[in-house]
Amino acid sequence: MEYKVIGSVFTMIFLAELGDKTQLATFACAAYERSKISVFIGSSLALVLASLIATLLGSFLAQHVPQSYISRTAGAMFVIMGVYYIYKG
């Protein structure tokens, strides 16, 4: 187990999720539901499943697509989404 990787991935995902629509949806659910632990468990399971799918897909892509293409595509997607949200907002 590589603790440095765990720490960097945790930090990156934690910061990316702050104020994200997923966190806002969880906030809204917690505001209306009596069982806060149920909201926490449901939200946590959803994030774990989404992370599992992303990890498996990333592993598959890494075996079939050159790393440079993956990095460039991810970077381009972030730029495109950023420009879209700037102009939309």
- 18: which DSSP letter? T
Helices within 1-89 (DSSP H only): 3-17, 21-32, 36-64, 67-88
Residues of the chain with pLDDT under 70: none
Q: What pLDDT, on the 0 to 100 scale, is given for residue 80?
A: 95
Q: What pLDDT, on the 0 to 100 scale, is given for residue 23?
A: 87
Q: What pLDDT, on the 0 to 100 scale, is given for residue 30?
A: 93
Q: What pLDDT, on the 0 to 100 scale, is given for residue 21?
A: 85
Q: What pLDDT, on the 0 to 100 scale, is given for residue 10?
A: 92
- The CA distance from 17 to 43, in Å, is 12
Query: What predicted TM-score, i.e. pTM, was given to this entire model?
Result: 0.70
